[in-house]
Amino acid sequence: MMGYRDLLTLWRKRIIRFEPDIDPRQQIGLSSIDLRLGYLFTKQRDAPGYTIDPFDEEFDPNPHIETIDLGQQPRPAGQGANFILKPDEFVLSRTLETVHIPPNLAAQVQGTTTGARSGFSIHATAPHIHPGFSGSITLEIKNLGQWHLRLNPGKRICQLILFQIKTPVSKREVKDMSSYQNQLLPYVKRQAGVAKTT
């Protein structure tokens, strides 16, 4: 696992890169890097009794979801964008930062203790990020508590934990085995013809 000095060195040498860039004084911690919430939120449309196979590679989610872009919505002057997450509600969002991870590192995205104490879950079951990943990170968000939660884009909301792997993967392996590189929306149809990795 990478600690504070490791993370600072990786960032300074641009071995790990972020767009927009992070502020190391605020975002690099003892053993993780804080990432910020983006502006897109995708919700499942109400469809009582509707059943899907979540592992069907041909499933197209687009007719069954609604994506809200808070960056495009008008709001009163001086009022920041926010998304209200209701109790038991599930949405997908993305990190504000696009993350570039080299082939000799892997990562996990985790929630924060502060958010968790309010019932806020940042990922449902898929925290792992493979070597060579490039893109914003999809966040599988759920409100496990009883309060409505106000989510503000641009706020630090999760932490990226980096691990060194024994043998770096090749660029060809990254290309052949990655499913969700450089995606533009939180919920997209799987890329065709790739290995079943997350």
Q: Which tens digits make up the pLDDT trace of 61-82?
A: 888 889 999 987 665 555 678 9
Taking alpha carbons only, the member of 162, 112, 169, 106 closest to residue 141 is 112
The domain ranges of the chain are: 4-45+62-73+81-177
Examine the residue annotation and report whether 66 is marked as an active-site residue of this protein: no
Give the contacts of 69 (CB within 8 A, at least 6 positions apart): 39, 40
Assess whether pLDDT exceeds 60 at residue 115. Answer: yes
Q: How confident is the model at residue 195 (pLDDT cuts 50, 70, 90)?
A: very low
Please identify which of the residues 58, 89, 140, 173 carries the catalytic annotation: 140
Q: How confident is the model at residue 56 (pLDDT cuts 50, 70, 90)?
A: confident
- SS (HEC) of the chain: CCCHHHHHHHHHCCCCEEECCCCHHHHECCCCEEEEEEEEEEEECCCCCCCCCCCCCCCCCHHHEEEEECCCCCCCCCCCCCEEECCCCEEEEEEEEEEECCCCEEEEEECCHHHHCCCEECCCCCCEECCCCEEEEEEEEEECCCCCEEECCCCEEEEEEEEECCCCCCHHHHHHHCCCCCCCCCCCCCCCCCCCCC
Average the pLDDT over 158-173 and give the result. 87
Among the four given CATH numbers 3.20.20.70, 3.90.380.10, 2.70.40.10, 2.60.40.10, the one describing domain 4-45+62-73+81-177: 2.70.40.10
